[in-house]
Amino acid sequence: MVKAQVSLEHMYRVFTKPEHHDSKLAQIEQHLSDNILDFLSQHVVTKKTSLEEIEQDFSDSRVPESPEFVSSHAESLLDKLVAHSVNTYSPTFIGHMTSALPYFHLPLAKLLVGLNQNLVKIETSKAFTPLERQVLGMMHNLVYDESDAFYEQHLHSARHALGAFCSGGTVANITALWVARNKILGPQPGFAGVARAGLNAAYQHYGINNLGVMCSRRGHYSLSKAVDVLGIGREQLITLPCPDQTLDPAMALEAGKRYQQAGNKLLAIVGVGGTTETGHVDPLDELADVAKELGCWFHVDGAWGGATLFSSTYRKRLKGVERADSVTIDAHKQMYVPMGAGMALFKNPEDANAVRHHAQYILREGSKDLGATTLEGSRNGMAMMVYASLHIFGRRGYELLIDQSIEKASTFADMIDRHPDFELVTSPTLSLLTYRVCPAAVQNKLAQASDEERRIINEKLDRLVVKVQKQQREAGKSFVSRTRLEAPRYPDYSMTVFRVVLANPLTTHNDLAAILAEQHLIATTQPLWQQLCELVDSDTETAAASG
Amino acid sequence: MVKAQVSLEHMYRVFTKPEHHDSKLAQIEQHLSDNILDFLSQHVVTKKTSLEEIEQDFSDSRVPESPEFVSSHAESLLDKLVAHSVNTYSPTFIGHMTSALPYFHLPLAKLLVGLNQNLVKIETSKAFTPLERQVLGMMHNLVYDESDAFYEQHLHSARHALGAFCSGGTVANITALWVARNKILGPQPGFAGVARAGLNAAYQHYGINNLGVMCSRRGHYSLSKAVDVLGIGREQLITLPCPDQTLDPAMALEAGKRYQQAGNKLLAIVGVGGTTETGHVDPLDELADVAKELGCWFHVDGAWGGATLFSSTYRKRLKGVERADSVTIDAHKQMYVPMGAGMALFKNPEDANAVRHHAQYILREGSKDLGATTLEGSRNGMAMMVYASLHIFGRRGYELLIDQSIEKASTFADMIDRHPDFELVTSPTLSLLTYRVCPAAVQNKLAQASDEERRIINEKLDRLVVKVQKQQREAGKSFVSRTRLEAPRYPDYSMTVFRVVLANPLTTHNDLAAILAEQHLIATTQPLWQQLCELVDSDTETAAASG
């Protein structure tokens, strides 16, 4: 490899000299701009490469001593990295919440890095600060629909925050519960508040044994991270069973009362607006009532489903979200913004003051610096991508995208339902669904099997689903994820299922049919399939013999 | 404004149709690529525009109803946003840690968004996962310099983590202290550990009143955020006075012992490797001894200064960093990577297990998913930018950049020292320094003034510095920040000073001379300057009269 010169002159050139138009990196860029789908299909290698093989390419732990030319490095990035990345733009990548992005984000990404603003303070962001506040205002408006006067008063106020922009839903959830904790265990005469005095002193002052957060078993794992980080403890995340995939309000009320009667304080109920695993929406309106009755914070994790509010047809599925004290929405999910655009929104614009902080060189008292109420410090200007998307799609554009995703999920559910060898496990509320592969005869058998027989069959089916999911992923044409969950049919059994997220607008019905066909083909060639069929056959024979 | 069509076909086009080469957005992009300095100087308006005026452009809180064409939106982004952003690339923007970036990051930004990987799990990142692990390994190696066998064993191990990549230094500091807290208050027979049982139960089990974190008064404000979030409480951040800008080891030892004798547990000492305000480095080696004697965690916040380790000449200024349990380094500071690349490194690769978490659909037991030990969930592939930078600069390239920054700061300090009307307040250890404007005669007066006279003069000087800093910023040619701090000369007085960060390799000595000249010009035309000079004149007259 030709090594670059070790001189300050060369280093300055790296800062000041644009890529030559026929340099390797410029070529990569051009190809990306001309046709990203073509670029990805040409460069992302779909053939099976094991992680261990890839790790070989990234195994040198020493910082390279000498500089390398940009172009020769670009070559190596293409070979080692791009070739073995995941084609998240592919219409047949329907396993997770990452999908194709609109084209305009490519040039905007360059503008973002070109401007390299830091939104922690106005001195390094200027117009980006009011822009981010406006984006938070628009999202707040989408959820809470307050009056024009309300937004006029709070949008650019130094003493208020309609939300906190952050890198993603996990930080948004932590931020919301941080605000809740600091507000609910706030200062009182003779007590400086939990932010200053700490959790231990707060428990003593308020005379409580424990602080708890309640959600269903489908609550996102970031909630258990949140209670860990915040010092509450993972054991105080009360996760209620939910065979129907949603948090039962009566059960929540009862569990909450029991918790309180034991000398504990319930900090928050978290309703999920589109669970990560099945896309179900908790009964938010009823849960708001429960939270009110229990006197606790009500947070809605709408990281995935929040964008459903753009749809006049489906926004009612989130009814009650406007009663939440805080709401998480990720723009990098159903708003098709690149990774790294989370938001926590606050119903009450004063609540963020519970975590307000200052420094001598920035975030001074009375400043409008955004960093005064965010968990993160230095942050980039991703809000620009959300701003651009909100304008380029508009509410009605997003509505069309949301509607087609939900309708596509419903069509796919029908396809699964009609296929004799598949079993729909959870129907889509939004654009997620889960199902499994299961020979038709075995489905019949399960309907009348004993508990023990059912357990044996389900365990085999679990293994079959894992095998099919892995082989399909490794074949590289398409990707569906998997998870384990309890479903209405077998409420006491945590079964393994395929999980599908229909996020990509480019996914067609034909793509879905092909994915199902591929899974069927892989499944029927497994020894496990044979074993399952034999199980049923032997039953039939026994029945025939004894008949 | 021409509104775009509200149809699914149009929405699909936004996903599939590249920007036409002469569209507005493509033009912006082309100009960025051709010559970013020219682009910024043409588009970023340097004339004074008040924040209130800019806010008018971002005051509509409603999500626009109808879609907009990309090009017409690009036009509006250019007018409203880009024009009023901050030119962080400017060689005369020397007030904060954000500076010009190398050119290759522009095309790489596009590649990053084009690939849109999510590094929380391998299924959405594939080669990006080993790449990020390698980057963490290289940075770990830079700090800890362990054996090849050590890295071979841990770099790609599912049960170990050499660090955690995150959005920035604040999250890195929180992550490090989270790990420390969970490890030090870990599980024991009869106790599930703080992660599960919570802080209150941990205090009871370990029989402690409070948990504390110690640093100097120059510790970054993210540390007080960290103790708040983690439930420890801001009052338990023990910030020791530091007229010399560094944490005194003897004072730290004594304060730590006193704290422990009062029935408290000292969680951690945080040494700063380049304070945000003055760039001073705490005596890390001695502080490591203190931490050892007190039996607590030792964290080094090297968000800014960590990159000094690339320099053979100056790395000794961080001596002892290799004894830290954890170290924070931001690649978006002195490694010239775009905003959003923080890292927490762990000396012991098992420590991150103290915060390990799982879910059913990802981060399964035994997987190598990076999300299992990070505070954030979904994350983008910024590690690619660090990887590329490490290769394109190499250690020796970074060394040249670090060396010239430190040497430039030293030259600037000399210029200030030689100027009769400026007073150097803190000399540069790395590439930061602070100073203030002060008429020569007033400097002489201060040397022999009474306490009361000194207070009066210093207060006037504080106001003068604020005036000059604001007017210079508003004039738009250059930017220097300001802060308040105690300095050796007036240890009991928190004075206002100019703060300079010499990060930008493109900043020349002429730029620095011009900045000083501009400040002098602004200062001498202030009524405050006149008042200060009169104060001294009247003294002289009084002396003459009484002489």
- Those of residues 301-340 in B touching chain A at CB distance below 8 A are 310, 330, 332, 336, 338-340
Chain B interface disruption, residue of A40, A93, A182, A228, most B CBs within 10 A: A228
Q: Which of B100, B195, B482 has the CB atom closest to A234's CB atom?
A: B195
pLDDT tier at B453 (50, 70, 90 boundaries)?
very high
Residue B539 has pLDDT above 70, yes or no: no
Amino acid at A92: T
In whole angstroms, what is the distance from residue B352 CA to residue B158 CA? 11
For residue A514, the model assigns a pLDDT of 97
Model-level pTM?
A: 0.97
In whole angstroms, what is the distance from residue A244 CA to residue A531 CA? 31
For residue A474, the model assigns a pLDDT of 87
pLDDT per residue as tens digits for the range A378-435? 999 999 999 999 999 999 999 999 999 999 999 999 999 999 999 999 999 999 999 9
Nearest chain A residue to B74 by CA distance is A388
pLDDT tier at A540 (50, 70, 90 boundaries)?
low
Percent of chain B with pLDDT over 70: 98
Amino acid at A80: K
In Å, how far is B382's CA from the nearest CA of chain A? 10
Q: Which of A64, A105, A394 has the CB atom closest to B65's CB atom?
A: A394
Q: Rounded mean pLDDT of A296-323? A: 98
CB contact under 8 A, B70 and A392: yes
Residue B339 has pLDDT above 50, yes or no: yes
Q: Which of A195, A392, A505 has the CB atom closest to B67's CB atom?
A: A392
pLDDT per residue as tens digits for the range B64-115? 999 999 999 999 999 999 999 999 999 999 999 999 999 999 999 999 999 9
For residue B148, the model assigns a pLDDT of 97
For residue A48, the model assigns a pLDDT of 65
For residue A21, the model assigns a pLDDT of 86
Percent of chain A with pLDDT over 70: 98
- Those of residues 227-266 in B touching chain A at CB distance below 8 A are 227-236
pLDDT per residue as tens digits for the range A176-188? 999 999 999 999 9
pLDDT per residue as tens digits for the range A262-297? 999 999 999 999 999 999 999 999 999 999 999 999
In whole angstroms, what is the distance from residue B144 CA to residue B345 CA? 10
For residue B419, the model assigns a pLDDT of 98
CB contact under 8 A, A32 and B111: yes
The token pair at A321 is 């979200």
For residue A1, the model assigns a pLDDT of 57
pLDDT per residue as tens digits for the range A31-72? 999 999 999 999 998 766 899 999 999 999 999 999 999 999
pLDDT tier at B535 (50, 70, 90 boundaries)?
confident
For residue A291, the model assigns a pLDDT of 98
Residue A546 has pLDDT above 70, yes or no: no
Least confident interval from B44-53, B197-206, B329-338, B424-433: B44-53
Residue B488 has pLDDT above 90, yes or no: no
From chain A, the residues in CB contact with B391 under 8 A are 64, 68, 73, 76
Q: Rounded mean pLDDT of A223-250? A: 96
For B121-381, CATH number out of 2.120.10.30, 3.40.190.290, 3.40.640.10, 3.40.50.720 equals: 3.40.640.10
Contact by Cβ (8 Å): B266, B214? yes
For residue A547, the model assigns a pLDDT of 46
> Where are any strands of DSSP class E within A3-101?
none
Chain A and chain B share a number of CB contacts under 8 A equal to: 594
Q: Are strands B326-330 and B297-301 parallel, antiparallel or unpaired?
A: parallel
- In A476-526, where does DSSP find H-type helix? 509-524
B377/A contact by beta carbon, under 8 A: yes
pLDDT tier at B492 (50, 70, 90 boundaries)?
confident
In whole angstroms, what is the distance from residue A285 CA to residue A322 CA? 9
pLDDT per residue as tens digits for the range B139-154? 999 999 999 999 999 9
In whole angstroms, what is the distance from residue B7 CA to residue A547 CA? 62
- CATH top-level class of A402-546: alpha beta
For B404-546, CATH number out of 3.40.1350.10, 2.30.29.30, 3.20.20.150, 3.90.1150.10 equals: 3.90.1150.10
Q: Rounded mean pLDDT of A482-503? A: 91
pLDDT per residue as tens digits for the range A187-218? 999 999 999 999 999 999 999 999 999 999 99
For residue B547, the model assigns a pLDDT of 47
Residue B542 has pLDDT above 90, yes or no: no
Q: Rounded mean pLDDT of B280-293? A: 98
- CATH top-level class of A117-381: alpha beta
The token pair at A31 is 């190809």
Token pair 């459903």 is at which residue? A308
Cα–Cα distances in angstroms (integers) from residue B368 to residues A283, B155, B182, B371, in the given order? 35, 11, 21, 9
pLDDT tier at B46 (50, 70, 90 boundaries)?
confident
pLDDT per residue as tens digits for the range B376-395? 999 999 999 999 999 999 99
Q: Which residues, other chains included, contact A109 with Cβ-Cβ below 8 Å and sequence gap of 6+?
A: A338, B109, B110, B112, B113
A24/B contact by beta carbon, under 8 A: no
Q: Rounded mean pLDDT of A437-461? A: 94
DSSP code per residue over B465-505: HHHHHHHHHHH-S-B-EEEEEEETTEEEEEEEEEEEE---T
The token pair at A212 is 């708890």
In Å, how far is A72's CA from the nearest CA of chain B? 9
Residue A541 has pLDDT above 90, yes or no: no
Q: Which of B169, B377, B393 has the CB atom closest to A67's CB atom?
A: B393
Q: Rounded mean pLDDT of B493-522? A: 96
